[in-house]
Chain A
Amino acid sequence: MTELLIATIKIIVLFAWLMLFALYATLLERKESAVIQDRHGANRASIFGISSFGIFQPFADALKMLFKEDFIPAFTDKRMFKFAPVITFFFSVLVIIAIPFGEPIKIGGKIISLQLINPDIALILIFALSSMSIYGVILGGWSSKNKYAFLGTMRATAQVISYEVALIFSILSLILVYSNMKLYDIVLFQKAYLWGWLPRWGIFIQPLAFVVFIIAAIAETKRAPFDLPESESEIIGFFVEYSGVRFGVYMLTDFIETIMLSLLVTVLFLGGWHIPFIERAHLSANWVKALEIIAFQVKTFLVFGFLLLVRWTFPRFRFDQLMELGWKTLVPISIFNLIITSIVVALL
Chain B
Amino acid sequence: MRGFLYFFETIKGLFITGKHLLVNTFYHTLNYIFRIKTKRKGAVTYQYPEEKKPLYPRDRTLHRMMFREDGKPRCVGCMLCVTACPSDCIYVKAEEVDGEKVATKFIVNVNRCAFCGYCVEACPEDAIRMDSGKLDFVGYSTNEMILDLLKTK
A interface residue numbers (CB < 8 A to B)? 32, 34-40, 53, 309-310, 312-314, 321, 324-325, 329
Bound CA span A69–B38, Å: 45
Q: When the two chains form their complex, are residues A329 and B4 in contact, meaning their CB atoms are under 8 A apart?
A: yes
Q: When the two chains form their complex, are residues B43 and A38 in contact, meaning their CB atoms are under 8 A apart?
A: yes
* Residue from A38, A314, A325 in contact with B45 in the complex, judged by beta carbons closer than 8 Å: A38
Q: When the two chains form their complex, are residues A313 and B45 in contact, meaning their CB atoms are under 8 A apart?
A: no
With contacts A310-B14, A313-B13 taken as known, whether A36 is within 8 angstroms of B43 at the C-beta atoms is no
B28 at the interface (CB under 8 A from A): yes
Q: When the two chains form their complex, are residues B21 and A32 in contact, meaning their CB atoms are under 8 A apart?
A: yes
B152 at the interface (CB under 8 A from A): no
With contacts A324-B3, A325-B3, A329-B4 taken as known, whether A38 is within 8 angstroms of B24 at the C-beta atoms is yes
CB distance from A327 to the nearest CB of B (A): 12
Q: When the two chains form their complex, are residues B43 and A313 in contact, meaning their CB atoms are under 8 A apart?
A: no
Q: When the two chains form their complex, are residues B32 and A309 in contact, meaning their CB atoms are under 8 A apart?
A: no
Bound CA span A313–B13, Å: 7
CB distance from B19 to the nearest CB of A (A): 9
Return chain A residues, CB-CB under 8 Å to B111.
Answer: none
Q: When the two chains form their complex, are residues B32 and A53 in contact, meaning their CB atoms are under 8 A apart?
A: yes
B143 at the interface (CB under 8 A from A): no
Q: When the two chains form their complex, are residues B3 and A309 in contact, meaning their CB atoms are under 8 A apart?
A: no
Bound CA span A313–B12, Å: 10
Pairs A-B, 6 closest by C-beta atoms: A313-B17, A35-B24, A38-B44, A40-B43, A36-B17, A36-B20
Q: When the two chains form their complex, are residues A309 and B21 in contact, meaning their CB atoms are under 8 A apart?
A: yes
B141 at the interface (CB under 8 A from A): no
Within 8 A of A (CB), among B17-42: 17-18, 20-21, 24-25, 28, 32, 42
With contacts A39-B45, A324-B3, A329-B3 taken as known, whether A312 is within 8 angstroms of B17 at the C-beta atoms is yes
Bound CA span A205–B3, Å: 25
For residue A43, which residue of chain B has the nearest CB? B47
Bound CA span A309–B17, Å: 7
Q: When the two chains form their complex, are residues A38 and B3 in contact, meaning their CB atoms are under 8 A apart?
A: no
For residue A310, which residue of chain B has the nearest CB? B14
Q: When the two chains form their complex, are residues B45 and A35 in contact, meaning their CB atoms are under 8 A apart?
A: no
Bound CA span A39–B44, Å: 6
Q: When the two chains form their complex, are residues A35 and B20 in contact, meaning their CB atoms are under 8 A apart?
A: yes
Q: When the two chains form their complex, are residues B21 and A35 in contact, meaning their CB atoms are under 8 A apart?
A: yes
Return chain B residues, CB-CB under 8 Å to A35.
Answer: 20-21, 24-25, 28, 42-43
Return chain B residues, CB-CB under 8 Å to A309.
Answer: 14, 17-18, 21
Return chain B residues, CB-CB under 8 Å to A310.
Answer: 14
Return chain B residues, CB-CB under 8 Å to A39.
Answer: 43-45
CB distance from B1 to the nearest CB of A (A): 9
Return chain A residues, CB-CB under 8 Å to B28.
Answer: 35
CB distance from A321 to the nearest CB of B (A): 8
With contacts A35-B28, A309-B14, A309-B18 taken as known, whether A40 is within 8 angstroms of B47 at the C-beta atoms is yes
Q: When the two chains form their complex, are residues A36 and B21 in contact, meaning their CB atoms are under 8 A apart?
A: yes
